[in-house]
């Protein structure tokens, strides 16, 4: 079983779902369009009520925020959408790592991974090039996608499919 922390991005589903359903196995396992905050979260550790309370406190210290998915970009083997601004996501990622230094994102395998919404994962460059071309056509006139980060979900796949176990609310925006 794995646990992950994600910010769901339902605003992106209409555009990304056809690609994620075909090219991202997590979508087939019920993972919604999202931006990852930490994965896997504390591998090998049972996420108990103490950890959940710590996460709730940590996330309540952060304001909810608006962002846009503005550009298509790539890592080796991954096609994704970039959020702008990315700083609030980085702040959340850093807050979790500060609280749980033994749990860096992606187990520390990739260094500093910018916040992103995965659209497709492909083994070879030619396949990813073709997916990139198709996705660029699908995105014509549809970017930026405006979205809001209001909560962080703790999800796990203990039932094989991804299930939301807890939703942590980010602090509300201050009224002016």
Q: Which residues lie closer than 8 Å to 138 by C-beta, 6 or more apart?
A: 15, 18, 19
User: Which residue shows structure tokens 């492909």?
Assistant: 122
Residue 74 near residue 132 (C-beta atoms within 8 A): yes
Q: Provide the whole-model pTM.
A: 0.94
What pLDDT shows up at residue 160? 85
What pLDDT shows up at residue 176? 44
φ and ψ at residue 46, rounded to 5 degrees:
-75, 125
Domains, the chain, ordered by start: 3-169 (3.90.1140.10)
Average pLDDT per consecutive 10 residues, the chain (176 residues; last block may be shorter):
96 98 94 97 95 96 96 95 98 97 91 93 93 98 97 92 96 60
What pLDDT shows up at residue 175? 46
Q: Measured in whole angstroms, how far is the alpha carbon of residue 9 from the centre of its chain?
A: 8
């Amino acid at each position: 079983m794995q646990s992950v922390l994600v910010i769901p991005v339902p605003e992106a589903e209409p555009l990304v779902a056809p690609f994620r359903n075909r090219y991202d196995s997590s979508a087939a396992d019920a993972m919604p369009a999202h931006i990852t905050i930490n994965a896997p979260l504390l591998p090998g550790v049972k996420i108990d009520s103490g950890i959940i309370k710590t996460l709730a406190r940590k996330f309540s210290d952060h304001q909810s925020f608006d962002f846009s998915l503005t550009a298509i970009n790539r890592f080796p083997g991954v096609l994704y959408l970039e959020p702008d601004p990315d700083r609030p996501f980085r702040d959340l990622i850093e807050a979790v790592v500060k609280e749980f230094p033994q749990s860096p994102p992606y187990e520390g395998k990739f260094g500093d991974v910018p916040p992103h919404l995965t659209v497709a994962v492909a083994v070879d460059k030619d396949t990813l090039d073709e997916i990139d071309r198709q996705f660029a056509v699908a995105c014509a006139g549809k970017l930026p996608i405006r979205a809001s980060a209001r909560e962080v979900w703790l999800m796990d796949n203990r039932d094989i499919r991804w299930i939301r176990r807890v939703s942590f609310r980010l602090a509300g925006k201050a009224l002016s």
